Each structure stands twice: as C-alpha cells, then as structure tokens.
Chains A and B, each alone.
Chain A
C-alpha cells in the first residue's frame, strides 16, 4: 500500500508550550519492508502513530492507500495493524484465545468462524498449547507473539511496529524478528535492533523531528551510527 506523508508538522501541546516533534516531513513509500531508526525523542513513535491515525498531524496530511487518516481513521485502522513495545499493555483479554478473538468481534462472523481463525493464528505463532492459559503466564516473547497474532488475525494490509523487541531478551527478540521476517504483508518497523534491518527495502533515519537520511539499510545504518557517534 502507498503511504503518503505530505508536508507534515506535528506539535504536541505539552501543557500550553507547544513542542514540535516532526517538521515539514514529506515522503512517499510503498516498499514491502520499511525501517525507521533514530535517537530517543527523535520523533519515530510519533511518525509511526501518524500512519494509523492514532496521532493526527497538526499541519499537512497523511494518506494510506489513498485514505486520509484525519477523515477516514476507522478505515485506515482496519488496514493498518499496530504493534507496540510493551506487550502487557496490548493484551486486553484475560486469556490467550480470548485476546486473539477480541479483534474479530463485531465482524459478523459466526462463533465457529471466529474459533477457526483464532486456532489457525495461534497455531501459526506457536501458541496453541497456551490457548486457554491466562496471558500473564506467558513469557515476554510469547506475549509479544500473542500481541502480534491478535493484530494479524484481523487481516491488515500494513503492519506498523514500534520497537517490538526493545523489552525482550535476545532470544525472544530473535523469535519475534523471525516471525516478522516471514510475514507476507507490508511492514514498517521502528527499531534500535539494527540487525533486524538487513534485507529491508528502505530505511528512514530521524533526528530531532527531521528525516535526515532515506535509503538502503547499509547506508542508512551507517549514517545513523555516524550521527550517534558525533553527539556531544
């Protein structure tokens, strides 16, 4: 799907004093794998949230698949799945199966159809054995896989992930990364785990609210490392 960001500036209210976190951002992207890197506070999460209308631009416009996030937020969120950093905050139902099924409510599916889709999704993410377990008994990595399954079960065309591996240990991060690598859908991945970006089609580097580099992973990661090394 085509992502269009037109002249976007975003200012958070921040208790009366406006804080500009993205400035004059314009880009078009329809690559299969898009990475986003940058220092803490550089505006990555704000950028990611613009893509599904969780954050609306103060100025400018964001369109996904031709839909304006400000006018068609619902339709955009149906197409764009979002995976957050903290799995505990994304799992909203008490058990694994119930959480995956949550996204399918009010879709006009029968109970059997819901069960079928949920079972397939759990199987695919290695969670079948835990289907009826309370979510809090899962490991961090399993929780993140559950959060992912719960988003994917609704069939989005684009998946935006904001640092999905940051809170995980190396082994769990690797499991989540493998799963993401196998996904057939388009992905925008914000990450500090730079090795995940190998093989990506395009990587964006943010610095203080500006897009400072946009290109192939090697060059972008090199640019980012140089930027970090140059910091005072």
Chain B
C-alpha cells in the first residue's frame, strides 16, 4: 500500500515522527505567524529550506510531496504572475515562496503525526475552555471524525457522479449536490448510531 493521498499520517521512526505533536504544531503555528512579517527573499529561502529539510528528514518520498502540492500549483502560478506584473519578481518570490514553505511544513507535520496525537494537542490547548462549558473531549472526537469523513464523502461524491454518468445525465451542480447531501446526511445518521452503539455517551 502506498499510503495516503490526503495528507494523512505515514508511519515511520524518524526524529520528526518521534517529536511530540505539540512541538510540531507549535512550530507550524510560529512559522505561520512569522510568515506575516516575512518581506525579504533571504528569510523566504530560509523558510523553504526548513520545509524541504523537514521532508528529507522525515523521509517523505518525492512523489507524495508532489501529490500534496499539485492542487496548489495553479494558485501558486496565478499568484506568481500577478505579483511579477504588479510588484516585481522579488515580491512574487516572497509571496509564493512563503506559501509553498508553509504548505511544505504543514505536510511534514501531518505526515509524521498521528491524527489522534494532533487531536490530543488541540484538546489539551483547549482544556481551559472546559471551565466555560466546552466539552473538550467531544471537540477532539469531532476533529477526528472530520478527518475520517473526508475520504468517505469523496467516495460518496464519486458514487453520485458515476450514477449520473451511467444514466447519461448532464453535469449540473444541483443534480450533483442534492444526492450528495442526501447521502452524506444518511451517512452521518449511521455514524451517529454506530457511535451510540460503541458507547460514546457511556
């Protein structure tokens, strides 16, 4: 099996895999906040270098990285052209470079960290909100369920599309959205039932 195409965890034993999830998320957050003030090409190059080094250290195959980046390439190209025209090549490099670097860093974190470990960090950070009535554990479960449901809903969407093609229906957004929503709701209903059976509230 080749692992995930959805930016999910890839098992491994590298330093980055063993680094606590909180440290990785904290680092990512710091890079994100720091990038707001990044204006010069040198810092941009440094950020990019950190991202690339991270991927290398985590031994993420190039193919996986490219698959992660593919959806972004069009956006990056448009941004690059826009900035080259409007504010010059240096600014274009900084804007696109920072964006790519952040995506690379996020990729490193998600590929080296189990979802439950990430969720645990969020739950821990949100812990104090317990006092204002937030059900923190429920929040964590919701996040994990969200991650789990992405591939399921993609699967449902493919089913709907195939069913419509099979019946020769023209592609229309509502003809696609309505059955997809219906199926997703039915799925959510079943998940709720399964959670109850597995003792969510017990």
Contacts and interface: CB of A to CB of B under 8 A. Distances in A.
Counting chain A CB atoms within 10 Å of each CB, the highest count among B3, B195, B196 belongs to B196
A98 B152 contact: no
A134 interface: yes
Interface string B187-202: 1001101111111001
Interface in B51-70: none
A32 interface: no
A78 interface: yes
A129 to B, nearest CB: 9
Contact of A137 (B1, B190, B195): B1
Contacts of A74: 199, 202
A95 interface: yes
Given A52-B197, A84-B194, A92 B144 contact: yes
Contact of B152 (A54, A82, A88, A150): A88
A77 B201 CA distance: 11
Contacts of B88: none
A95 B191 contact: no
Counting chain A CB atoms within 10 Å of each CB, the highest count among B141, B193, B195 belongs to B193
Contact of A133 (B1, B144, B191, B194): B1
Counting chain B CB atoms within 10 Å of each CB, the highest count among A77, A78, A89 belongs to A89
B124 interface: no
A93 interface: yes
Interface string A131-172: 011111100000000000011001000000000000000000
- Say which size band chain B's interface belongs to: 20 to 34
Interface in A69-104: 74, 77-78, 81-82, 84, 86, 88-95, 98, 101-103
B115 A94 contact: yes
Contacts of A154: 198-199
B190 A89 contact: yes
A54 B196 contact: yes
Counting chain A CB atoms within 10 Å of each CB, the highest count among B4, B8, B198 belongs to B198
Counting chain B CB atoms within 10 Å of each CB, the highest count among A94, A101, A130, A137 belongs to A94
Nearest to B10: A132
Interface in A32-74: 52, 54, 74
Interface of B: 1, 3-4, 6, 8-9, 11, 114-116, 141, 144-145, 147-148, 151-152, 155, 187, 190-191, 193-199, 202
15 contacts: A74-B202, A77-B202, A78-B199, A90-B191, A90-B194, A91-B148, A94-B115, A98-B116, A130-B1, A134-B6, A134-B151, A135-B148, A136-B151, A136-B155, A137-B1
Given A86-B190, A89-B193, A92-B148, 14 more contacts: A54-B196, A54-B197, A74-B202, A78-B202, A92-B145, A93-B116, A94-B9, A94-B147, A95-B9, A95-B114, A95-B115, A98-B116, A102-B198, A135-B148
